[in-house]
Amino acid sequence: MVETPAVAEPSAALAAPEVPDAAAVRAAAERIAPWIRRTPVLGAAALDAAAGGRLFFKCEPFQRTGSFKFRGASNAVLSLPEEEARRGVVTHSSGNHGAALALAARERGIPAWVVMPEGAPAVKRAAVEGYGGRVVFCAPTPEARIEGAARVERETGAVLVHPYDDPRVIAGQGTAALELLEEVPDLDLLVAPVGGGGLLSGTAIVAAAAGGRAIETIGAEPAAADDAARSLASGRIEPTSPVTPERPATIADGLRSGICPRTFAVMQTRVARIVTVSEEAIVAAMRTVWERLKVVTEPSAAVPVAALLGTGLAAGRRVGVILSGGNVDLDRLPWAGERSGL
């Protein structure tokens, strides 16, 4: 485990983007309540012992579509005025957000287009299409994904719902932490994974607004995809880590996205620090959660667990952990000898 140095002061050169507040998160919770599942909060004595504190896991693998992403997607879709909604929605995603948006759109009775890279796992394409989404393929580059979504916008009039650079999405993601604190209000620390930063931002907004108790928020990130940690340390948004033979892509594929000015603005003011963890620690934490908590957990969701087990970070504290999702290929589990493909 590696911790970032003291957080640098926010850069004056960065324009202040629109970010939701705690009231927006509460409004999102009310808006999406009929559509989402209120997921359970679980714990295990063995995990408490390994962490040295009391851990409370908000289990989003039990959420519809298998991850927290359905919260943000639902809030965005349900927030659209009717004249916009009837044109449909579009996003670019190779995983959980695409499936979540497809289902949220189906629930409202509108079309959804999901731009996915060529070569995306068949199981992920099947999930999007199974929820009624229309898959549009693009080259496997960030630029191609963005241009593909922009092209669909131009051709159809669909409204873009970005995976994390959207205040409606961030507010929706924050409802997981809001529910957790309603059930377990006396927490000392909240820990969430960080990729693009939507979940961590929503979590931090809720924690900062918790009345009567100071709750620290920490992000957890793979060391192989540590742009959020580097960004907080430098005070400016750093590029995503290049994938090389010496530095392979992280197993936590849901956390490979880079942060954006909107999520960075929240992190600079409300997130205490980012902790980075090794690939080996992620796999070990994932297996431990499966064995001890009995919850199917994907690698990205195991990252905050890896930041807590045996590190001393949770020592003597009551810690809420956002267990973000459980969408895995059961034929390619990392402890079965093959790391790629999750």
Domains of the chain in sequence order? 2-67+166-336 (3.40.50.1100), 69-160 (3.40.50.1100)
Residues 37 and 50: beta-carbon distance below 8 Å: no
pLDDT band at 15 (very low <50, low <70, confident <90, very high): low
Phi and psi based region of residue 237 (left: phi greater than 0; alpha: psi -120 to 50; beta: remaining): beta
Q: What is the mean pLDDT of residues 245-266?
A: 88
Q: What is the pLDDT of residue 246?
A: 60
Whether residue 55 has pLDDT greater than 70? yes
Whether residue 13 has pLDDT greater than 50? no
- pTM: predicted TM-score of the whole model, two decimal places: 0.92
Unique residue bearing structure tokens 């209120």: 38
| Residue 171 exposed, middle or buried by CB count within 10 Å (0-12, 13-18, 19+) | buried
Task: With H, G, I as helix, E, B as strand and everything else as coil, classify residue 78.
Answer: helix
Whether residue 12 has pLDDT greater than 70? no
Q: What is the pLDDT of residue 11?
A: 40
Whether residue 5 has pLDDT greater than 60? no
Q: Which residues contact 40 (CB under 8 A, 6 or more apart)?
A: 59, 62
Q: Where are the alpha helices (DSSP H) in the chain?
A: 22-32, 45-51, 69-79, 82-85, 96-108, 122-130, 142-156, 167-183, 198-208, 227-234, 261-270, 279-292, 299-306
Residues pairing with 41 in the sheet: 58
Q: What is the pLDDT of residue 76?
A: 98
Residues pairing with 115 in the sheet: 92, 136
Q: What is the mean pLDDT of residues 112-120?
A: 91
Whether residue 182 has pLDDT greater than 70? yes
CA geometry: angle at 242 spanning 241 and 248, to 5°? Answer: 95
Whether residue 340 has pLDDT greater than 50? no
Distance in Å from the first CA to the final CA of the chain? 22
Phi and psi based region of residue 33 (left: phi greater than 0; alpha: psi -120 to 50; beta: remaining): alpha
pLDDT band at 322 (very low <50, low <70, confident <90, very high): very high
For the chain, the helix, strand and coil percentages under 3-state DSSP, each to the nearest 5? 45, 15, 40
Written as one string, the DSSP assignment of 93-146 is -SSHHHHHHHHHHHHHT--EEEEEETT--HHHHHHHHHTT-EEEEE-SSHHHHH
Measured in degrees and rounded to the nearest 5, phi and psi for residue 211 equal: -80, 140
What strands, in cross-sheet order, belong to the sheet with 134-138? 134-138, 112-117, 89-92, 159-160
Unique residue bearing structure tokens 């390619």: 332
Average pLDDT, the chain: 92
pLDDT digits (tens, 9 = 90+) for 192-210: 999 999 999 999 999 999 9
**To the nearest whole percent, how much of the chain has pLDDT over 90?**
81
CA distance 226 to 7: 15
pLDDT band at 329 (very low <50, low <70, confident <90, very high): confident
Task: With H, G, I as helix, E, B as strand and everything else as coil, classify residue 67.
Answer: strand
Q: What is the pLDDT of residue 1?
A: 62
pLDDT band at 2 (very low <50, low <70, confident <90, very high): low
Q: What is the mean pLDDT of residues 32-40?
A: 98
pLDDT digits (tens, 9 = 90+) for 72-99: 999 999 999 999 999 999 999 978 999 9
Whether residue 44 has pLDDT greater than 50? yes
pLDDT digits (tens, 9 = 90+) for 136-146: 999 988 899 99
Q: What is the mean pLDDT of residues 100-120?
A: 95
Q: What is the mean pLDDT of residues 39-66?
A: 98
What strands, in cross-sheet order, belong to the sheet with 216-222? 2-3, 273-277, 216-222, 189-193, 318-323, 54-59, 41-42
Q: What is the mean pLDDT of residues 29-34?
A: 98
CA distance 206 to 278: 28
**To the nearest whole percent, how much of the chain has pLDDT over 70?**
92
Q: Which residues of 129-142 are buried (b: 16+ CB within 10 A; e: fewer)?
A: eebebbbbebeeee
